[in-house]
Structure 1
């Protein structure tokens, strides 16, 4: 990536960053248990909850709490879950003018099993999310054009994601792709400003192992070669590996006891988008995002776990103080 591209990405702004999110809106059906079951095993769970989720909606809420002005583009079903999901997003100050109610499909759901360690297993039923179309993107294209950053994931149809990326590129809007759920991607989806998989997703995207920091550095460089201007690989408490086209770095994590990692990546992505749009350098934006991801992992539930800017800034300031004392 050229230096001019980097300066564009982190251009200083005094207003609230405008973030557009194209993505999924789900109701998470969450079961908590001592340990995840093995295939064929039946276990008893400790609790069951219905919690608003979906990677797109999670990242929209994360970006609002990080200080962004956020517009959501997506679909929900014409059902009870859909009504709850829309109301929740509006209560979180996410603009839902770009969200369409679909009568032909139910709202998306995710069956989430969380074990005591905080690790989880997720099965997604797309529902209305699978009905998001290129026409939806065209209809709400101004929401993208008027934004500083477009955030996309892979829980909506690829052609709609590609169309949104194209609108953003034509308008000079930066694109952050969270490639989840991971699958081998065409070049059009890899050609983004920032891609931010975790280590398992990076392995799927590149077809290579990602079991340690050195492997992650090579995979970040490979993702850059495949088209991403900046490649970021999150590795939990190990830290975050980033390659910006000229150098590869390891940014330290904020270590915390994990309770539920469901929305940690979404907290990271939403905070990263806002902090970059605010004008922070790439390493500093990632440090804030690392704190946000860690704080999210320390609280049960997807959207309930997403931290506020004040919470992140307090921890980030303490971490910065510790770095200066070393």
Structure 2
């Protein structure tokens, strides 16, 4: 099995559950409050570790109790933390999350130490980084760091997966270094600058990104599963039906499942099916990482359906 590396954010999620989200100027009573390790990078690394991957996390935490706790979480979930350093004098990243009764969420992210993951830091960890085969990126560290790192990895023939989240417009250059782009519908609309309301629109939108250099787009479509889009065709892959409790890390879990199967050199459709399963299971408990499954659980989940 190929080895993996996640380069990205490490946040502590501060989660409040509410009946309904407040509107501007309104105060509502929350039902519960919890803290969970999160951040898109950390979520993907933890999910990979639980699946049994050989995975390295690269990022930064702050000089606070959240950072210390996160190091313990990484190590206890089979994630190599040699690529994680403490940024002195700074807080760890935090995400303030509201979760409603129907499992929907909204999120405010404060980057903290994640903003200090610069190009020099990546260079200082390069001897560790270059040992991996497949790399996962998101957009919660400085964009210039992600682009420079992807460029260097592609020169070495590595495989790059980009989850373009949170949804922002991106410079054309980045797409030259991406093998697999994994946006949800909102993120894809942001990247192409227009609404998508049909499969025809989906395929047409993807052409713009292929022209910029992307090899394959795997569009995450929520309960509708995913779509594998190549230059010549679009293949729909149905999702799995579960009763969601918290959808916070469903996209991160999908990416981890997809990358895990890719590392096992499965066919692309199998990789997406596995990603769909990991993503679905991850929504069945509160907190970004609480329901992230083992390989055995995912395997049984797929076979049972």
User: Is the TM value for this pair above 0.5?
Assistant: yes
SS at the partner of 2:147? helix
The residue number in structure 1 matching 2:247 is 261
Write the deviation string for residues 30-79 of structure 1: whole angstroms up to 9, x where unpaired. Answer: 00011112222211110000100000000001111223111111000111
Report the TM-score when normalising by structure 1: 0.90
Write the deviation string for residues 163-208 of structure 1: whole angstroms up to 9, x where unpaired. Answer: 2202211211100001111111012222200010111111111101
Q: CA deviation at 1:86?
A: 1.0
The residue number in structure 2 matching 1:251 is 237
Structure 2 residues without counterparts, runs of 5 or longer: none
The residue number in structure 1 matching 2:158 is 173
Alpha carbons of structure 1 residues 299 and 217: separation in structure 2 relative to 1, 3 Å? farther
Q: Do the aligned partners of 1:224 and 1:243 also contact (CA within 8 Å) in 2?
A: no
Q: CA deviation at 1:298?
A: 1.8
Write the deviation string for residues 123-176 of structure 1: whole angstroms up to 9, x where unpaired. Answer: 000000001110111111233321120101000001111122022112111000
- Mapping 1:82-161, distance limit 5 Å: 82-161=67-146
The residue number in structure 2 matching 1:197 is 183
Q: 1:38 aligns with which of 6, 10, 23?
A: 23
Q: Do the aligned partners of 1:118 and 1:258 also contact (CA within 8 Å) in 2?
A: yes
Q: CA deviation at 1:212?
A: 4.0
Q: Do the aligned partners of 2:103 and 2:244 also contact (CA within 8 Å) in 1?
A: yes
Alpha carbons of structure 1 residues 219 and 317: separation in structure 2 relative to 1, 3 Å? farther
Report the TM-score when normalising by structure 2: 0.96
Structure 1 residues without counterparts, runs of 5 or longer: 1-14, 320-326
Q: Do the aligned partners of 1:216 and 1:241 also contact (CA within 8 Å) in 2?
A: no
The residue number in structure 1 matching 2:288 is 302
Alpha carbons of structure 1 residues 187 and 318: separation in structure 2 relative to 1, 3 Å? same
Alpha carbons of structure 1 residues 112 and 309: separation in structure 2 relative to 1, 3 Å? same
State the number of aligned residues: 304
Q: Do the aligned partners of 1:22 and 1:164 also contact (CA within 8 Å) in 2?
A: no
Q: Distance in 1 between matches of 2:193 and 2:162?
A: 18
Q: Do the aligned partners of 2:133 and 2:158 also contact (CA within 8 Å) in 1?
A: yes
